[in-house]
Amino acid sequence: MVRDMLRRFVGSAILAVPIILYSPLGTSLFGRELAPPLGLSPGLLGFVLTSIVVWWGGWPFVSSAWRSLRRGELTMMTLIATGILVSYLYSAAVTLGLPGEPFYDAAAMLTAFSLLGHWMEMRSRFAAGQAVEALLQLAPPTARRVRHGQEEEVPLEAVAVGDILAVRPSDTVPVDGVVTEGSSYVDESMLTGEPIPVAKGPGDEVVGGTRNQQGAFRLRATKVGADTALARIVAMVRDAQSSKAPAQRLADLAGKYLVIVALAAGVVTFAAWLVFGHQGVSFALSAAVAAIVIACPDALALATPTAITVGVGRAARAGVLFRNATVLEAAATVDTVVFDKTGTLTEGRPSVTDVIPAAGVDEAEIFRLAAAADAQSEHPLATAVVEAAKKRALAVDPPSHFEAVPGHGVQAVVGGRSVLVGNRKLLERNRIMPGLERDAERLRAEAKTALYVAADNRILGLVAVADRIRPSAKSAISALHDLGIRVLLLTGDSRATAEAVARTLGIDDVRAEVLPGEKAAEVRRLEEQGRRVAMVGDGVNDAPALAAATVGIAIGAGTDVAIETAGIILMKDDPADVPVALVLARRVHRKIKQNLFWAAIYNVIAIPLAGGALYPSLGILLKPAWAALAMSASTMTVTVNALLLRRPGHARA
């Protein structure tokens, strides 16, 4: 379609050159009348060439206008086709003997310039959609399915949930799944925009369309076909690009009325010049055609969708997915961002942050004994201690006795030594003086859990465990403040933990110890105060709050429930993409307002000018051909302005 429009434009532009040369416009340009070849009259040559331009080059406009009329609608194509056909048919009538002056040049130039404007519009839409279409090509056509220990290559469509698939070095992962054996690094840049490959091993999730690096592994398919992350991303971006924002619906309504106004302006202009201006039919008709053509609301109709199409495509390349245009427009008005803590501002899993040994105790000894005692515990804090010991490659002896003490910790016998790992109450229960109290208080003030480690009735030290704050969280909060946005923390954690995180990150306000069912009520309370709220979360218990907010934002590691509820999905586990999304939304919104302003100013100035308002005083009258050029220029202006969103600088705050 884009190539066809380009072919029609090039062909029409080439034919328009001799039409102009042998027209009255050519005579005025060269100071003398040029003689056509083969003894043809200027009128006959103009008729033959313009007929090709109108019925071949201008056919998309004429056919579209005809279909609209059959449906009882008046559209932009109606205006363009009216201008082309009136210019052409009147000129043909003059060639056949009607008194007057033909203006085939107007019909030819009007067709060529209109084709140019529409080709640029289609080209911008095509370019904006290319990134999305390229995603579809990432999925390989086949996969290596493993059955009875043998690999067989099968079409991708034949893969079912539960199938075991083999992925070799440099292969593209065929579908979403979980690694069952082997390990490798996987390039997920197509999904997250993050260029650094991610380590994958048994139990890790992989996404279809991502690129395996040097290792080999097998995966169990969990999502196939339209359910894969890749297919859902493409569907979401397509839906967003084709959806209509509130501003676009208003522009469409204004455009419909403007079509009627333009046709009325043409009729009034023709009648006024013919009756009151004491001008001939040619003059009056030329002014009327110019008024109809220049009033074509192409720029008004393209102001919003072009910016949205380009903006949504640009956001997708940055790992930010907008569900639809309404969400994008709402995101531009956000003045308050509410963050969930766990898994959003933090990594969502506890890890060891500090080890504080008592006097004369070796740090490695604390780790060995604590990890051995915790080895059989399923508590997340115990798991964090065991993982930390593994990272330090410490030899951990299995306990000969293990007992979990609910609400306090664990006690075990390791290498003949009686070991306790837990809170202060566990030590007091065993009549051990805790010690290291100042260190424990400091750790608690930093939102860390202090685990006491004791052996043979003696305190050995403290192991601090916490849900680590994401490295980019502080810069994300700072970027939101730079945008004039107020930031709140909404969490079910204790007030001490929540306030410690808020102090570290510079968050403005805290709502702590909030039950899952109360989060949505807190968001609604903020909105009742007149705030425009974006809720950022990742878990099932965040879904009601995401739905209640002006804009719900699901961070990359979020659950399916959170993603289905949110209006914006961040493909990376990175809170820094929250300000990126809001900046993109604001810039798209700004482009829409700029384009609508330009389209409105253009019509206010251009319609009277084309109708001949300046002719009586200044002798200025806009010819139909120049009206077509002005109309195309206005279309190009809003298109190019929207395309500026594709620059990399428009993706970051």
Please list the active-site residues.
340
CA-CA distance, 61 to 632, in Å (whole number)? 14
Pairing status of strand 198-200 against strand 205-206: unpaired
Tokens of 429: 């229960």
CA-CA distance, 269 to 359, in Å (whole number)? 98
Phi and psi at 276, nearest 5°, equal -100, -20
Phi and psi at 486, nearest 5°, equal -85, 140
Looking at this protein, which amino acid is placed at residue 258? L
Contact 383, 369 (CB under 8 A): no
**Closest CA relative to residue 204, chosen from 220, 225, 228, 215:** 220
Q: 3-state DSSP call for residue 255?
A: helix
Helix axes 246-275, 76-95, angle to 10 degrees: 30
CA-CA distance, 227 to 172, in Å (whole number)? 18
Tokens of 32: 């003398």
Angle at 106 between CA 101 and CA 107, to 5 degrees: 105
Tokens of 268: 């009034």
Phi and psi at 228, nearest 5°, equal -70, 155
Looking at this protein, which amino acid is placed at residue 606? A
Beta-carbon contacts of 344 under 8 Å, excluding residues fewer than 6 positions away, are 536, 537, 538, 555, 575
Cβ-based neighbour number of residue 620 at 10 Å? 11
CA-CA distance, 385 to 523, in Å (whole number)? 36
Pairing status of strand 568-570 against strand 551-554: parallel
Looking at this protein, which amino acid is placed at residue 413? V
Tokens of 344: 């959003």
Sign of dihedral through CA atoms 361, 363, 365, 368?
positive
DSSP secondary structure code for residue 399 in this structure: P
**Closest CA relative to residue 645, chosen from 331, 317, 310:** 310
Contact 120, 636 (CB under 8 A): yes
CA-CA distance, 192 to 413, in Å (whole number)? 47
Q: 3-state DSSP call for residue 468?
A: strand
CA-CA distance, 585 to 315, in Å (whole number)? 9
